[in-house]
């Protein structure tokens, strides 16, 4: 009889209940890990969409700036990817409310023949995903001013020479003292 009791204590193993609990814990942890991976993949897709929208918007701003002297309200579809649509809006930007140092600019602009105008340029990019519509916006400020004839001449290299003054002194160019190198 002693022999049977010894056999029962020697049979060490897992019971059915222990195996079921271990499988439940393992399945819950695997499902959690898979959800983390799928969430990360979704975040990568959203990040890729925003990156693409940002690149398209920057390229559109550069294209519009190179084609036109001034920006006007406009909208369209990107040729590179027709899922993305763009809206350009231009409005006058009030610098005086931005900072008190610009109060003199408004007074100078009213008195000047060549006023400085600051425009707020906003380019919104829209696209649709499986779940919702997304929007990304790039905003920049651009100055617009009429160039006076004197500054046009200087830019073209037709500057007036002042009597008794060399060109180097007019434009602040200086000779480098001996013993110093240009770096």
Residue 105 sits at the vertex; the CA angle it makes with 67 and 72, to the nearest 5 degrees, is 25
CA distance 64 to 87: 12
In a domain, 124, yes or no: yes
| pTM of model > 0.85 | no
In a domain, 178, yes or no: no
Give domain status of residue 181, yes or no. Answer: no
Q: Name the pairing type of β-strands 85-92 and 74-77.
A: antiparallel
Query: In the sheet that 85-92 helps form, which strands lie side by side, from edge to edge?
Result: 74-77, 85-92, 116-128, 133-145
Q: Which residue has the higher pLDDT, 172 or 126?
A: 126
**Does residue 166 lie in a domain region?**
no
Using the predicted structure, report yes or no on whether residue 17 has a pLDDT greater than 60: yes
**Average pLDDT in the chain:** 77
pLDDT tier at 127, thresholds 50, 70, 90 = very high
For residue 7, being part of any structural domain is answered with: no
Instruction: Note whether residue 125 is domain-resident.
Output: yes
| Residues 74-104 pLDDT 10s | 899 998 888 999 999 998 887 777 777 777 7
Helix and strand numbers (H, E) in the chain are 5, 4
Q: How many domains does the chain have?
A: 1
How many angstroms separate the CA atoms of 56 and 63, rounded?
10
- For residue 169, tell me if it sits in a domain: no
Band (65; pLDDT cuts 50, 70, 90): confident
63: which DSSP letter? Answer: H
Neighbours of 145 (CB within 10 A): 13
CB-based contact 91:62 (threshold 8 Å) = no
Q: How confident is the model at residue 11 (pLDDT cuts 50, 70, 90)?
A: low
Does residue 47 belong to any structural domain of this protein? yes
Separation CA 174–CA 176 (nearest Å):
6
Please state, in angstroms and rounded to a whole number, the distance separating the CA atoms of residues 82 and 71: 23
Instruction: Answer for the pair 50, 136: CB distance below 8 angstroms, yes or no.
Output: yes
pLDDT score at 156: 58
Count the alpha carbons within 13 Å of 73 in the hemisphere toward its beta carbon: 4
Q: Report the share of the chain in percent with pLDDT over 70.
A: 69
Residue range of the domain that includes 100: 16-159
Per DSSP, the residues of 24-51 read HHHHHHHHHHHHHHHHHHHHHHHHHHHH
């Amino acid at each position: 009889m002693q022999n049977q009791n010894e056999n029962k204590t020697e049979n060490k193993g897992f019971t059915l209940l222990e195996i079921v609990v271990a499988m439940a814990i393992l399945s819950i942890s695997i499902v959690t890990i898979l959800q983390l991976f799928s969430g990360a993949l979704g975040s990568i897709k959203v990040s890729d969409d925003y990156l693409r929208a940002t690149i398209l918007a920057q390229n559109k701003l550069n294209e519009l700036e190179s084609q036109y002297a001034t920006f006007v309200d406009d909208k369209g579809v990107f040729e590179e990817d027709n899922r993305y649509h763009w809206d350009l809006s231009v409005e006058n930007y009030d610098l005086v409310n931005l900072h008190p140092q610009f109060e003199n600019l408004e007074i100078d602009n009213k008195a000047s023949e060549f006023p400085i105008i600051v425009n707020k340029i906003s380019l919104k990019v829209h696209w649709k995903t499986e779940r919702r519509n997304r929007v990304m916006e790039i905003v920049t400020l651009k100055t617009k001013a009429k160039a006076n004839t004197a500054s046009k001449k200087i830019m073209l290299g037709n500057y007036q020479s002042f009597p008794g003054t060399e060109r180097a002194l007019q434009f602040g160019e200086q000779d480098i003292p001996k013993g110093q190198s240009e770096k």
